[in-house]
Each structure stands twice: as C-alpha cells, then as structure tokens.
Structure 1
Amino acid sequence: MKFGFWLPIFGGWLRNVEDEQMPPTFEYAKKVIQQAEQLGFDTTLIAELFLNDIKGPKEDTLEAWSTAAALAAVTEKIEIMTAIRPGFHNPAIAAKATANIDHISNGRFTLNVVSAWWEEEARQYGGIFTEHDERYERTKEFIDVLKGLWTEDSFSYEGKYYQLKETNLYPKPVQRPNPILYAGGESPKGKEVISTHCDAYVMHGGTVEEVAAKINDMKEKRGETSNPPFQSFGMAAYVICRDTEEEAQAELARITAVKESDAYAGFKDFTSKSQLEQQIQLQDYSVSNRGLRPNLVGTPDQIATRIKEFENAGVDLLLLQFSPQLEEMERFANKVMPLVNPRAKELAQS
C-alpha cells in the first residue's frame, strides 16, 4: 500500500471546526510536505479550487499550480499530484507547464484530471462550465492535446473544443510517455473517458464493498486488449486514530455535529452538478471528499485491519486527510503505517 495525503491548502478538512491549526499558507504547506517525506509518505494531492470549498468562499486558499512548482523545488522523493480542470486551462500551456514542473521535480509531477462541479466558482473566475457530459467531452480532447504535445515532435489537432497546428513543445516531460494522469468520476460518461484516456483511477471515500465494485467495474471498462492496465487505484479517506475506540468515536462525534455556515456553500453544486453513485447528507459533507465512509476511525490496529481490507479489494494508494495535519500525520505514520507496511519507515529513511 502506498500512502498519500491531501495538501492542506484550505485551512483544514472539517466544515464544522473553524480553526484546525492548519493555516493555508505556503510556509505551512512546505513544512507538511517536508515532514511527510521524512515520515515515508509517497504522494501528496494538491486540489485546484480558486474558492475555498471547506471553510467558505471568502476564506484564504492556496493556488495549486504555483504551490506545486514551489514544493517541487524543496522536496526530493514525494510524488506531487496536482489537480487540473480543463475548463480553466489552455491545454497547450498546461502541457508546457506540466513538462516544466516535471523537470523541476525530476520526474515526480503528476496530474489529477477533474472535470469540475462548482458552477459558482466557474462564474467568478471565468471558467467554462457546461452540461455534465459535455464537460467530459472537453476533458477527452484536453487529454488528447496533452498527450500529443508530450509525445510528438510537432502536433496538430482539430477538435470541437481545441485546435492546434504544428505546435512544438520542448523539453518533453521527464516521465515517458507522459506524467501519470489520475482521474476520478462516477457517472457513466466520466467512467468512459477515464477508462480510455487516463492512467489511474481515484475514488472518493467508500466502504470496502463499494470500492471493490468500482474497481472491478473500471477494470472491465478498461479492457485488456486496447489499453494497458490501470497503474493505480486510489481512494480518499479521513483518519481518526486514537489509543482507544472510545476516544476515536468522541472525536468523530465532535467533528460531525453539523453547523450551517458558509462552509456548506458548495454543497448544492456538489450534489446537483455531479452524478454521484451514493447519495450524501450534510453530515457526510461535514468532512471533505466523503472521507468518513471508509471508516478509518479507531485504534491503530483497527485502522490497519481496515486498510488491509481495502488493499485486498484492489486499492493500492490512500489519499488521506488529517486534522490537525502535522500532529495526526505523524501519529498515523508511527502507529499505523508500520502495521500495514512493516518496512515502510525503514525504506523511507534509506
């Protein structure tokens, strides 16, 4: 199992807790990622939102791509997976920027392709936000352009959304043929595009049964003749690790006591503009990315057992959230990771 974490660019992950002691600053982000490298984490995921979806649209949040480039220069081993939403980017410029950051990181920069869901954010920032399936059609062309520019000496393209003629991109990315393209989606159209155009599949938090079904479904859609196998199946999850189950459940109750606030401004768009396989309630939404559904809540032994169940179901990458980040990330690395991967810490420090 590989362990990743969401970079805390929003000031936390809890919509009911005002101050999580996780300031949305570059200095804090740098401290987190450098500590994560020492602790043995493999990946960080940097979400791309121009408004703060967790604490409210008027609160501070870091911009993903400039943050990724800066962090690439001050880290050595960790994969930096950064979200990209086609409706906010020119694909040729995005391909160039990706190649550049891939060189800064020496081949550690990857993308999480997101077709977007927050219509109000798109309105404020001039993003292209169309009907659901059309957003995925745009995504398909966007990926065609990225891969074409990364692999061909001179690339031309004539699509519905993008047109290029004899476009040159040098230097090419360090990773060949391309930096890994992760993506997550639950709609039929989303799964169609991801299974044919992306390299790895990431999921919101789910139960073991839900996740196993999704993985089997995506493997079937991927096929074995026209495409290579998916490189990875990742899942988001929020962790509450305590010495006793009672302490863990008390923390769970504290963070899910829903308090209506600006932190829930995106709830309607998230549930109405996406096509979700499981209905979610405000309590689920109180923690980012349905992170409580995997139930990584309890003692180190209980959490490790649960993680192994997900591993047996086909998950090989966890994208975890913690609050407060530094303290809980260290607790998890010291108490849970050795139970799942006995040599993880030893390998990280070698």
Structure 2
Amino acid sequence: MAIDLGYWTPVYGGFLRNVRDEGRMAATWEYIREVSVKADRLGFHTTLVPELYLNDRKGTDAPSLEAWSLSAAILAATDRLRVMTAVRPGFHLPAVLAKTVSTLDSIAPGRVALNVVAAWWAEEARQFGGVFPAHDARYAQATEFVEVLNGLWESTPFTYRGDHYDFDGTIVEPKPSSHPVIFAGGESDAGREAIAGFADAYVMHGGTLDEVRANVADMNARSERLHGRPIAEFGMPAYVIVRDTEAEAQRELDRITTVDPHSPGYASFEQFRQNSNLSLELSRREYSVGTRGLRPNLVGTAEQVAERIDEYADAGISLLLIQASPLDEELDRIAEQVFPLVGQRSLAAAG
C-alpha cells in the first residue's frame, strides 16, 4: 500500500522537550513560512497545525503561535499543501468556525481539513476561558460541534437543537467548495465511538505496528457498523531521524531523549497524562518529543526508515505526519533520501 507524507507544524518553536536549542527553529511566522514554502515545493502532502494557546513543549512561559491565523497564512503562501488545523470545541463557537473554514476554502479551495480535539489541558482552559467538561462529555460536545459544522456547510438556513448548541435559521455563506475532511483522535472507548460517528478520518498517536493494526481494525469496524463504510484516512505522527549510518541515528536519538524532569515542558506532560484516558502508560523517554512520536521507531538510514514507513502503510496508515529537528533541514533530507524509496499515494495518483 502507499502513503502520504506530511509533517507537523512546530507552532511551539520546536519538538524537543529536553533540548532547549533547536537551531533556527523558533515560534515565528518567518520560520513557519520558510518551512511551509519548502514543504510545498518538495511535495509534502499535508501539514497538521496544532492548536495550543500555551506552549507544552518549551514551557508555558515560552511563545507559541495561534493555529487559525497561522493556517490562513500557510494556505496563502503555498499552492498544493493541505492544511489540517486542530480545533478544540471548548474554545470555539461552531458557527463562527464554520464561517472561518468557508473563508479559508475560498483562499485555498479543497486544501482545508480539520482535526477535532477533545482538549486535555485543564490549565490552558482555565487561563483562556475554555469550556473543559469531564472526559466523556468533551466527546459529546465534539459530536454536536461537528454536526453543527456539517449542517451549516450543507444547509441555508440551518436550525439545530442540542445539549450544547442551539441555532435558529443561521446562515453561513459561502459554502466550502468541497466538504473539508474532518479528522479526530482518541483512545478511550467513549472517544473512539464518538469519533467513528462524527469524523471522516482518524489520527492516532505514534504506535507499534501491532498497535496500529489494532486501531485500524477497531475504528473501521465501528465506522462500518455506524455508517456502512470504513474510515477514509488514518493519520499518525512520528519523529523521524535519518542519518548516513544507523550508529549516527542512534547517537541523535540518545541526545534528544536524555530526560530532564526539571525541563519547562515536563509539567504540561504530567497534566496530559493525568487528563487523558490513554491505552498505554507513557514513558519518560516517549515524553521527549510528545504524541508518542518515537514509538514507531523511524530511526536509522534512509533505507531503514523507508522500509519501516512502508510497513506502516501496509498496516493501514495513509498519512504520516513527520516531526524532526531542525525541521527545515530534515525535510530536505527526508525528501531527497526517503521520498524515492517510499510508495506515496499522492505521487502515484499524479502519475
């Protein structure tokens, strides 16, 4: 099977919690613009723009960029790149968000996607006035949130009565040129059931091949039961280290995973662990880059990494969201050395 290769936009100025200096990576539009234009030119398929109002990688007092204004700029600066922007229902009015997405689609038709996130960071919600109900209730809210988005994109006027939202004759014009793909992720049973109901696509944390196969089978079964069809796309983040030799790659892995419990981002990691129903215990080693990005073990020579990516494609992953540091340099390396060795869906379709 083939796979689309994308990347994770570093709104926090870097991916590494244990490494303070990541070269030129910074939480600035100048750096993100450079990475976005380069990724578009190199042929990366999708970028995920995470929505975090506090910096969970470098510490809460460090700068980070706002997802939706940043996404508009990325879409305007690129020609082909799909931009998947995270949205937490507890921080947004769904009708306003529907209007925002429609406007972004007019800037870049067909290149807007969403990642609906049932938030995990209580401290962030407290500081920014976000709604932060109990875990399962956040997925019930997310379900209604997406129902409202879909309704506003499909009908004019739109009326809705729910537990979280009420609308009466609401008009959103223009409509998007095509239905934006809606991703979501979650590991609890309640989360998976909700996502299978409201999302088109599923994005999971990094996992082993067996974990991915199990996730794909479970989510496809739920979607088949609810809708009579499988999940449209399966995304997974992974931290990638490509070097000329396996030993060099291992040295880089050792450098970035030397955990400092006193690092600025460690407290947010503890909140994430406490407020999420995760399917496995997070190790401090995995904490080093977040989203369990090291668990897929995409570390080694270009040949080794490409072989591993193909194995994940065979396991059901259709979109790999690459994390690497420094990202501008590593995207060049990955495009030059790994792209020719991996069967890519977008390139195959173009041929």
Q: Same fold (TM over 0.5)?
A: yes
Question: Residue in 1 aligned with 2:221?
Answer: 220
Q: Which amino acid aligns with 1:327?
A: E
Q: CA separation in 2, counterparts of 1:279 and 1:221?
A: 24
Within 5 Å, give how 1:1-350 maps onto structure 2: 1-21=3-23, 22-175=25-178, 178-223=179-224, 226-259=227-260, 260-341=262-343
Residues 39 and 345, structure 1, Cα contact 8 Å, conserved in 2: no
- Matched residue of 1:80: which SS? strand
Shift of 1:261: 1.5
Bigger shift: 109-118 or 274-283?
274-283
Percent pairwise identity: 51
Shift of 1:8: 1.4
- Matched residue of 1:320: which SS? strand
Residues 136 and 189, structure 1, Cα contact 8 Å, conserved in 2: yes
Deviating above 2 A after TM superposition, structure 1's stretches of 4 or more consecutive aligned residues are 224-229, 341-348
- What are the ranges of 5 or more consecutive residues in structure 2 without an aligned counterpart? none
Change (3 A) 1:343 1:112: closer
Q: CA separation in 2, counterparts of 1:342 and 1:277?
A: 30
Q: CA separation in 2, counterparts of 1:116 and 1:224?
A: 26
Q: CA separation in 1, counterparts of 2:222 and 2:347?
A: 36
Q: Which amino acid aligns with 2:82?
A: E
- Matched residue of 1:135: which SS? helix
Change (3 A) 1:124 1:332: same
Shift of 1:227: 4.2
Q: CA separation in 1, counterparts of 2:216 and 2:106?
A: 32
Q: Which amino acid aligns with 2:132?
A: F
Change (3 A) 1:94 1:163: same
- Matched residue of 2:77: which SS? coil
Residues 338 and 344, structure 1, Cα contact 8 Å, conserved in 2: no
Q: Which amino acid aligns with 1:158?
A: R
Q: Which amino acid aligns with 1:210?
A: E
Q: CA separation in 2, counterparts of 1:4 and 1:78?
A: 9
Q: Which amino acid aligns with 1:153?
A: T
Root mean square deviation of aligned Cα: 1.6
Q: CA separation in 2, counterparts of 1:275 and 1:322?
A: 27
TM-score normalised by length of structure 2: 0.96
- Matched residue of 1:290: which SS? coil
Shift of 1:262: 1.4
Q: CA separation in 1, counterparts of 2:11 and 2:298?
A: 22
Q: CA separation in 2, counterparts of 1:266 and 1:213?
A: 28
Q: Which amino acid aligns with 2:112?
A: F
Residue correspondences, number: 347
Residues 12 and 64, structure 2, Cα contact 8 Å, conserved in 1: yes
Residues 90 and 131, structure 2, Cα contact 8 Å, conserved in 1: yes
Residues 4 and 345, structure 2, Cα contact 8 Å, conserved in 1: no
Shift of 1:6: 0.5
- What are the ranges of 5 or more consecutive residues in structure 1 without an aligned counterpart? none
Shift of 1:344: 7.3
Q: CA separation in 2, counterparts of 1:57 and 1:285?
A: 16
Q: CA separation in 2, counterparts of 1:171 and 1:11?
A: 34
Shift of 1:223: 1.1
